[in-house]
Structures are given as C-alpha cells and as structure tokens.
Amino acid sequence: MDTALYLHALTGLFVIIDPIGSALIFNALTSGSDSKYRHLMAIKSVVISAVILILFGNYGEDLFSQLGININSLRISGGLLLFYTAFMMITQEIKFNNTGGNGDISVFPMSIPLLAGPGSLTLAILLFSQNAQTESAVAVGAAIISILLVTLVAMMAAKHLKRIIGKTGDEILRRFFGVILAALAIQFIYEGIHNISM
C-alpha cells in the first residue's frame, strides 16, 4: 500500500468529513432517541457513505469521460467546489435541528450531504483518478474506510463528545479545518490548470 498517498487521502477526507463535527450534528439529530436507534443510524450512515464514496470515486471519472468532461476540468471545478465548502466552513454557522420522532436520518442528512457530500465525492474522484494503480486505489479506499470508522466511533460517543468539546470547541475546529481544506482546494486548481496548459 502507498503510505504517502494513504496519509494524503486521510488528511483531506478528515478535513472534509470532519468526524467530530459530524458526530455533534448526529447528536443533535438523535437527541432524545434510545441507544439502539442511535447505533443503527450511525452504522447505516457509515456503510452507505462508504459505498457511495468508493463506487463514485472509482467510476466517477469514467462517467465524466462518457459525458466528454476532461479530468483536469474536473480538478479545477472540484477545487473550486472544495474552496467554496472551505469558505462556508470558515464563515457560516451550520445548523441542523431534530425533526422529532425516529425517522431514518442515515441517507439524509447524515450520508448526503454530510459524510458523502459534494466535497468528499469530488475529493474521492480526484484521488482515485490521480492514482490509477491497484496499490494506490487500495490506499485511497483504506483512507475512506479509516475515516468513516473514526466517524462511526465519534457518532457512537457523540453525547460524551458534546460535553467535552462544546459549541466553542466545535467552531474552532471547523474553521481550522476550513483553512486546511482551502489550501487543498487551491492545490487541485493549480494541478488542473498546470495539466491543461501542458
């Protein structure tokens, strides 16, 4: 396995998915629910997100190719989208309210748009397309599974995390991760422009 690529993918996905922030949102959505329901929703959210990210990451480039979209154009547009996501992370306050009852929140909003949203889907495509070898694909897949497992653990312990971190800690982390994501987005835009101009 390509360790450098694994760590690169791990960092990017950690920043976008933000396991701690996602766990705090999960806690808000499931407050008042029993532990069985919370555990079921956490597991379903992670499994659905893993399937979406790995499938879209592997076959998204082929889909765009069929539509006549160049991968470097995707790098630039994906970079812009990631930058927009980073900008929103830094400047906006994200609010999710408990709708009441025990509805299925695993697909929306947990999987889409939180865990497997536009930012993480774009990053998955870019990481898989940049590194076509089997060893590299395994590294990216392992990074996706690792981050989602961390997210699962964070969601299972969401009540305790809320007490420890609190709203201020979550705000600081989200903005810090936003700055890192912005730098990653600029790197993708640079690579796309550089490759198109060659």
**pLDDT at site 72:** 81
Q: Which residues contact 172 (CB under 8 A, 6 or more apart)?
A: none
Helix axes 35-66, 118-130, angle to 10 degrees: 50
Percent of the chain with pLDDT over 70: 93
Helix (H) or strand (E) holding 140: helix 134-156
pLDDT-derived band at 152 (thresholds 50, 70, 90) equals very high
**Cα 73 to Cα 64: distance, rounded to the nearest angstrom:** 10
**Residue 156, pLDDT score:** 94
160-164, long-range: CB < 8 A, 24+ apart? 161/20, 161/23, 161/24, 161/27, 162/24, 162/27
Contacts of 192 (CB under 8 A, 6+ apart): 72, 73, 74, 75, 76, 79
Residue 95, pLDDT > 70, answer no
Report the b/e string of 66-94 with b at 16+ CB within 10 A: eeeeebbebbbebbbbbbebbeebeeeee
Say yes or no to pLDDT of 164 above 90: no
What's the pLDDT band for 38 if we cut at 50, 70, 90?
A: very high
- Secondary structure element (H or E) that encloses residue 170, with its range: helix 158-197
Q: How far apart are the first and last CA of the chain?
A: 30
Q: Which uninterrupted H or E stretch holds 188?
A: helix 158-197
CA distance 83 to 118: 11
pLDDT at 143: 96
**pLDDT exceeds 90 at position 36:** yes
Mean pLDDT for the stretch of residues 174-198: 82
DSSP state of 30: T
Question: What's the whole-number mean pLDDT along residues 92-115?
Answer: 73
Is the pLDDT assigned to residue 43 strictly greater than 90?
yes
Q: If DSSP codes are grouped into helix, strand and coil, which group holds residue 34?
A: coil
List, in order, residues 6 or more apart from 183 with CB less than 8 Å away: none
Mean pLDDT of all residues in 100-121 = 81
Q: What is the mean pLDDT of residues 66-81?
A: 81
Q: Where are the domains of the chain?
A: 3-197
Give tens-digit pLDDT for 111-151: 987 899 777 888 898 888 876 678 889 999 999 999 999 99
